[in-house]
Structure 1
Amino acid sequence: MNADHLENSGRRDFLRKSALGGGGLMLGFYLNVADSAAKRVAKPSTVPETGEFKPNAFIHIAPNGTVTLISKQPEIGQGIKTSLPMIIAEELEVNWKDVVIVQGDLDPIYGSQSAGGSRSTPTNYEEFHRLGATARTMLIQAAAETWKVPVSELIAHDSAVHHSLSGRKLDYGQLVAKAATLPVPAPESVQLKDSKNYKLLGTRIGGVDNPGIVTGKPLFGIDVQLPGMLYAVYEKSPVFGGKVVSANLDKIKSLPGVRNAFIIQGGSDLKGLLPGIAIVADSTWAAFSARKQLEVVWDEGQGADQSWAGFAAKANELSTQPGMDILRNDGDAKAALAAAEKTVEAAYSYPFISHASIEPQNCTAWYKDGAIEIWAPTQNPEAGQKVVTATLGIPKDKITLHITRSGGGFGRRLIPDYIIEAAAISQHLTVPVKLTWTREDDLRHDQYRAGGFHFLRGGLDDKGKLVAWHNHFVTFANKVVKDGKPKLELGSGANLSGDEFPGRWVENCLLEQTPLECNIPMGPWRAPRSNVLAWVFHSFIDELAHAAGRDPLEFRLEILGDKGFIPGTGEQGIPYDVNRMKHVLQHVAEKAEWGKKTLPRGQGQGIAFHFSHRGYIAQVAEVTVSRDGKLKVDRVVVSTDIGAQIVNLSGAENQVQGSVVDGFGALTFQELNIEKGRIVQSNFGDYPMLRIADAPTRVDVHFLKTDNPVTGLGEPALPPLAPAVCNAIFAATGKRVRQLPLLRTDLSWS
């Protein structure tokens, strides 16, 4: 049996047995299924057969001093596999060189294990501090009982407990046997460290997988190998929602290396198992080669009539008709616009785009004797388990799901369509099967960032103050069946909310929304909704500032006002802290020397901010645009407020810089055209990604520590980039960008 398989298949068993056998305090992460009240419980600590100290499901300390920490969230490049264990290690007072990180598989013992919405850090931060502090408390107590001295005379640091009066010390490995016999202290009795004494948090720690990545070790889903494994591809209708009528399966089955080819009927859920044809072969190459000879007759359905040109024409038509009110502030926006000293109108649009993660979707599944084992690069393993149960009828307790590292996610791997495809193919054959999507599959069967059309009007009074705002948003929705009835469901990120600035800040504000029905599947794309709304709103605010003859920074600060908190708004019910936003906005202006430079024609600064996924971010972009329209982003200055503590400075900087680069790539190049219900683009040849030569020359990152809860950073730094760059382009050239991507706008000037 393959060594990698042995390691993977044994790991889940090790983690479950060590957590349950070793007992310990689950601290809100272990759900006792026998408890009818579903209360979280603590288990007494015991000495397991391995001789390790396991005070909870996340910490195992061996007699040789090795500390194994379990990372429960999926690692998709955001660094969470390193940063969450750092929190435990800080409180545990363990030397990082003594730490081994193990990826936890899907298991209710760990609680929620999805990675999306920049929630991994804020939802685990306090709990993980307590996990580490509890283990440290027990180790100190073990030393006190060993030496028969008061706990107050002892201190833990560098993976050992020290008695300063006598100069003695006991390494953690020497204390595991004693510590494992102690009762687990009540959570409220455990003393957490003062942040001023942190030694690990806030420092630069390289990713725990970095050595394996640069040396090509098998870490990713696409690397999984199992004994007797076959390789599969899955052909779906080029038109979303299409069904198989017939295919030349006999010919495909006769091709070299092909083991089987068959139709899967599937269903209509665009996020589930769609109809298609599976080809299973002895190698990926054989499967891919056979697919090239596949001939299918499709029933394409009504989706074949849809096109981007048709959507755009319909959006223009709908813009003149009333939409559904999303927010109507006190006052009358239309009357205020009619009475305004000056009005500005503009239409903004952006296309559907793909996630285009470097590792295409893939999954390995092994169905045997009514149970299934799955290896998947997933952001949402619970969703994968759920869809397998619902679609294939396999009970949850018969599903083992191993979480592999993902080669990028950006929200794409929250949707488990590729998981259910692999599971269905394996169930049909009852052998281990690796399903691999091609790049063409990945672009043409993504869960896309929704396109959209915004028709805006703004009103200014005689002092240049914003007094009215009207936005009619024509967006996209899929027809779904809920409770037996068809309804339109807005795509992820395709909804408008008054929570977004400047909705509730403008006295006379009307937000309207009109859905366009489409068959295009839509899913979360990094910083859903915010990634495009920030561009639309802060570009239009910039238009209004210039129309008023006002400084764009001062204009924004005036709109923000002095309200402190905007109650009852914000993402997920979180109030919007105006003072935090003003702080980062003023800070970024200071660091970028906003307005203090006299720039020649062709150079400009642009400013923008956004509250996204609990983070307050402001950015200034500095650009140069040549006379023939070639753009270069010379510098992006970023100020962030994500709370009281940066967990891993290296990872945090990486996330901000990565967001800037990712946001600029989407702004500059990315778009998908739709013709006859099909995605036209197929690969990076006609869907270009940002290259190093086109990236911003410099990104300056500033973290403002504030007395606020710690939040995530995978998404909030992306939304302000696009409007900051576009506003800088206007300052440099006088040309306003109202259509994405940038390549659609001629930036040349004279």
Structure 2
Amino acid sequence: MNNAAVLNRRSFMVASLTGGVVLTLDASLTLAAAAPGAAPDVLNAFVRINADNTVTIGAKNPEIGQGVKVMLPMLIAEEMDLAWEQVRIEQTDADEKLYGPQVAGGSTATPRNWLPMRQVGAGARAMLVAAAAKQWGVDAGALTTARGAVLHKASGKSLTYASLGKAAAAEAAPDLAKVALKDPAKFTIIGQSKMGVDVPKIVKGEPLFGIDTRVPGMVHAAVMKCPAHGGTVASFDDAAVKAIPGVIAVIAVNSGFVPEGKTDTLLIVADSWWKASKAREKLVVKWDDAAVTGFSTAKYEKDAAALFAQTPQASLFKAGDADAALAKAAKVIKADYDYPFLAHASLEPQNCTALFKDGKLEIWVPSQNPGQGRAETAKLCGLSPDDLTIHLTRMGGGFGRRLMNDYMVIAGQAAKALPGKPVKVLYDRTDDFRHDFYRPAGWHRFTAGLDAGGALVALKNHFVTFGKDGKPIRAAQMAITEYPAPVVPNVDLDVSYMATNLATGWLRAPSSNAMSFVFQSFMDEVAEAAGIDLPELMRRTLGAPREIPGERVAFHTGRARAVIDAVCKNAGWKGRQKGRGFGFYFSHLGYFAEVVDIGVSDGVVKIDKVWMAGDVGSQIINPINALHQAQGAAIEGLGQAMIGQKLVQEMGAITAENFGDFALMRIDAVPREIAVEFLKTDFPPTGLGEPALPPVIPALANAIYATTGKRHRRLPLEMI
């Protein structure tokens, strides 16, 4: 997998004049020198060196709580040889031409930026050293750096980075592919726990999030959408609404979910959001929704059962002859599993503020994927993408919801309809639940065969999901490399599709959060039939350490085995026993194995402790943040599994209104402890916002079975 941002010598050096000569490292870094006591040059780039020898580093990726706003600057600061107390961090705007990819999703920040950001810091350091060498008339190899200064040990001389900025600008840019990087043994920042830069402001309740945006002269917009997804506006009467004092306009727009030329969203714009929200009650709308009201939860269940009774529509993966192997198997195990649609349920509802002025659009938005939002908004507003300026705000949760940019698209059109007025679009909680991009539901029919020695020799899975034109809709895919398919000699992975009107999207650990439950829970059934526990079945099927090619990334059986062994050792696993369950999963380049300990009192299940072992490569960049990411992932996974998170659809519409209909984890349900161990291995560092989540769901399900004797094959789990 090669998705790293690539910087080369040609793009490294860019001529730039802003209040003097400055060194610009394109898509990476700007060094700006300022005279003592003067304000620093403020440039649209990664780094500026301030007059007091502090260094401001721009964090390019959207901050969603995953800690990237600190992690990426740590990489640059390490290779620049700064002391962490010298570092100041600012969120950059969205500008992929300048900064490269700016996405919060797929746990990609670390693999994409691990080398490029370090190379940027090292390249800047090399140019500063070269400038100092010329000033002193010595060889650059005789110089060292520390704490934002260049040192000449032989003479005892030193120069701060602030004093060298202008001279460094005259130096030739180094080849980033060849620039010397630090020996990890000499890291002073990477590998050390650093507090989130926004934490003090969050604790104080200071404005940081998109919902906090305030712009002079701002007006407010509430949204009104067809209850049935995909319905469009046939007509509306806004006379009563416009008669309300403070109401400014009613605007029909396209959210991007329906064909161009149609509108599916009405915006009531007023001088306060409360007025706009209340005015919706008087808006008379006729919806064109006849084609989308026939979808419901009951219909999906009926359609899935009918598809199971038919021949699968398509084959995803086939190896050997599964039917022949099953006919000869000593034991055959069969089970059906399913899981529901899920909402993202972020605490901060979707929002965006936009101002259209002089043919340009300025946007303040909490988006996980602002580049895509730029393209979509520009298209529906009839603008060039270069006409948009996007300011990134912190997000109050997203979990994949804010990879979709309907709120930006809507706000852009509203602002263009009201030039000169900043328009803030805000969904209320019901809007957010009923117009999400949901994790798709799915149904699985499994069959497995064991030989006389208890080895897994055959696996079949008929997967029923949602699709169109013979292809899955967004986020409804199943990988052909779902474990244990790559290591079983006879496999049939088949699929059948049915229709839905719902908008679907990626939910944290997309696909994996569902597939882990069905595959690892079924594997626990197979292990029991073989007379062993799940970890031992995993070890036997994994076989010798080796790398197995996949659709996009390879799967390493040795790394999988290592985390399984580690968590079993840490948890004192002694085979199948009451009160304990095990789960493993590989996703987003990370290998995680987890054990869940539970207790049952008066028929109520209480989670006591989660044990976790993970392998995300050779370096944990920010240990405290990594710990919190892993623990948070486990808590979120448990929430999906155990507390009734399930959406109901009737007449094409989702019925949930608030958290009473879709509960989040409460503190009294959280395990008393989540023990995490990271195995450091000789592989490039990868992300961990997602891979720690999937295994906890089957581990809990398997623990409930081990304790109560009741096998749960449907989410959410029945906890009593």
- Which TM bucket (shorter chain)? over 0.9
Q: Report the TM-score when normalising by structure 2.
A: 0.93
1:713 is aligned to 2:692: no
- Aligned partner of 2:11 in structure 1 is none
1:490 is aligned to 2:472: yes
1:241 is aligned to 2:216: no
**Matched-pair contact (CA < 8 Å) for 1:140–1:161:** yes
- Aligned partner of 2:671 in structure 1 is 696
- Tell me which amino acid in the other structure corresponds to 2:614: T
Q: CA RMSD in A?
A: 2.4
**Matched-pair contact (CA < 8 Å) for 2:320–2:489:** yes
- Tell me which amino acid in the other structure corresponds to 2:623: L
- Tell me which amino acid in the other structure corresponds to 1:383: Q
TM-superposed deviation, 1:168: 3.3
**Matched-pair contact (CA < 8 Å) for 2:19–2:41:** no
- Aligned partner of 1:676 in structure 2 is 651
- Aligned partner of 2:10 in structure 1 is none
TM-superposed deviation, 1:558: 0.8
- Tell me which amino acid in the other structure corresponds to 2:76: I
**Residue 733 of structure 1: which of 708, 711, 720 is its match?**
708
- Residue 293 of structure 2 aligns to a residue whose secondary structure is helix
Distance 2:349 2:244 in 1: 25
Distance 2:17 2:262 in 1: 34
Distance 1:736 1:447 in 2: 30
- Tell me which amino acid in the other structure corresponds to 1:558: R
- Aligned partner of 2:698 in structure 1 is 723
**Residue 347 of structure 1: which of 333, 336, 361 is its match?**
336
- Aligned partner of 1:542 in structure 2 is 524
**Residue 514 of structure 2: which of 523, 532, 543 is its match?**
532
Distance 1:100 1:198 in 2: 19
Q: How does 1:194-209 map to 2 (within 5 A)?
A: 194-209=183-198
**Residue 316 of structure 1: which of 291, 305, 314 is its match?**
305
**Matched-pair contact (CA < 8 Å) for 1:349–1:453:** yes
Moved more, 491-500 or 299-308: 491-500
- Residue 691 of structure 2 aligns to a residue whose secondary structure is coil
**Residue 84 of structure 2: which of 87, 90, 96 is its match?**
96
**Matched-pair contact (CA < 8 Å) for 1:62–1:176:** no
**Residue 584 of structure 1: which of 563, 578, 601 is its match?**
563
**Matched-pair contact (CA < 8 Å) for 2:23–2:169:** no
Distance 1:211 1:273 in 2: 45
- Aligned partner of 2:353 in structure 1 is 364
Q: How does 1:180-195 map to 2 (within 5 A)?
A: 180-195=169-184
Distance 1:446 1:730 in 2: 33
Q: How does 1:530-609 map to 2 (within 5 A)?
A: 530-562=512-544, 564-567=546-549, 569-570=550-551, 573-595=552-574, 603-609=578-584
**Matched-pair contact (CA < 8 Å) for 2:33–2:49:** no
1:615/1:17 CA distance change after superposition, 3 Å? farther
Distance 2:556 2:162 in 1: 47
**Matched-pair contact (CA < 8 Å) for 2:33–2:164:** no
Structure 2 stretches lacking a partner, 5+ long: 1-14
**Matched-pair contact (CA < 8 Å) for 2:563–2:613:** yes
Moved more, 393-402 or 518-527: 393-402
**Matched-pair contact (CA < 8 Å) for 1:237–1:243:** yes
Over the matched positions of the two proteins, sequence identity in percent amounts to 43
TM-superposed deviation, 1:234: 1.3
- Aligned partner of 1:631 in structure 2 is 605
- Residue 24 of structure 1 aligns to a residue whose secondary structure is strand
- Residue 365 of structure 1 aligns to a residue whose secondary structure is strand
How many residue pairs match? The answer is 701
TM-superposed deviation, 1:546: 0.7
- Residue 426 of structure 1 aligns to a residue whose secondary structure is helix
- Aligned partner of 1:461 in structure 2 is 451
- Aligned partner of 1:610 in structure 2 is 585
**Matched-pair contact (CA < 8 Å) for 1:336–1:467:** yes
TM-superposed deviation, 1:105: 0.9
- Aligned partner of 1:660 in structure 2 is 634
- Tell me which amino acid in the other structure corresponds to 1:438: D
1:58 is aligned to 2:33: no
- Aligned partner of 1:381 in structure 2 is 370
- Residue 579 of structure 2 aligns to a residue whose secondary structure is strand
- Aligned partner of 1:445 in structure 2 is 435
**Matched-pair contact (CA < 8 Å) for 2:581–2:704:** yes
1:286 is aligned to 2:275: yes
Q: How does 1:29-108 map to 2 (within 5 A)?
A: 29=27, 57-107=45-95, 108=97
Q: How does 1:249-288 map to 2 (within 5 A)?
A: 249-264=238-253, 269=258, 275-288=264-277
1:217/1:46 CA distance change after superposition, 3 Å? closer
TM-superposed deviation, 1:137: 1.6
- Tell me which amino acid in the other structure corresponds to 1:576: F
Distance 2:147 2:79 in 1: 11
TM-superposed deviation, 1:427: 1.1
- Aligned partner of 1:121 in structure 2 is 110
- Aligned partner of 2:622 in structure 1 is 648
TM-superposed deviation, 1:143: 2.6
Distance 1:59 1:213 in 2: 24
- Tell me which amino acid in the other structure corresponds to 1:561: G
- Aligned partner of 2:12 in structure 1 is none
Moved more, 358-367 or 151-160: 151-160
- Aligned partner of 2:8 in structure 1 is none
- Aligned partner of 1:8 in structure 2 is none
Distance 1:463 1:240 in 2: 52
Distance 1:293 1:21 in 2: 60
**Matched-pair contact (CA < 8 Å) for 2:434–2:657:** yes
TM-superposed deviation, 1:279: 0.2
Distance 1:273 1:141 in 2: 60
1:398 is aligned to 2:387: yes
TM-superposed deviation, 1:20: 11
**Residue 300 of structure 1: which of 289, 298, 301 is its match?**
289
- Tell me which amino acid in the other structure corresponds to 1:404: T
- Residue 187 of structure 1 aligns to a residue whose secondary structure is coil
- Tell me which amino acid in the other structure corresponds to 1:445: H
Distance 1:391 1:723 in 2: 43
- Tell me which amino acid in the other structure corresponds to 1:557: R
**Residue 471 of structure 1: which of 461, 467, 473 is its match?**
461
Distance 1:649 1:326 in 2: 43
1:295/1:548 CA distance change after superposition, 3 Å? same
**Matched-pair contact (CA < 8 Å) for 1:23–1:56:** no
- Aligned partner of 2:25 in structure 1 is 25
Q: Report the TM-score when normalising by structure 1.
A: 0.89
Distance 2:630 2:323 in 1: 39
- Aligned partner of 1:149 in structure 2 is 138
TM-superposed deviation, 1:114: 1.5
- Aligned partner of 1:484 in structure 2 is none
- Aligned partner of 1:505 in structure 2 is 487
1:473/1:540 CA distance change after superposition, 3 Å? same
Distance 1:495 1:126 in 2: 31
- Aligned partner of 1:3 in structure 2 is none
- Aligned partner of 1:515 in structure 2 is 497
Moved more, 442-451 or 178-187: 178-187
**Offset from partner CA, 1:368-408 (integer Å, 9 cap, x none):** 22211111100111111111122121111211111111111
**Offset from partner CA, 1:256-283 (integer Å, 9 cap, x none):** 3211123336665399985121100001
Moved more, 201-210 or 587-596: 587-596
1:506/1:332 CA distance change after superposition, 3 Å? same
Distance 2:626 2:225 in 1: 39
- Tell me which amino acid in the other structure corresponds to 1:547: A
TM-superposed deviation, 1:121: 1.2
Moved more, 273-282 or 500-509: 273-282
TM-superposed deviation, 1:414: 0.7
**Offset from partner CA, 1:493-550 (integer Å, 9 cap, x none):** 3112221111121111111111111101000100111110011000000001112211
- Aligned partner of 1:216 in structure 2 is 205
**Matched-pair contact (CA < 8 Å) for 1:588–1:638:** yes
Distance 2:44 2:380 in 1: 35
TM-superposed deviation, 1:169: 2.6
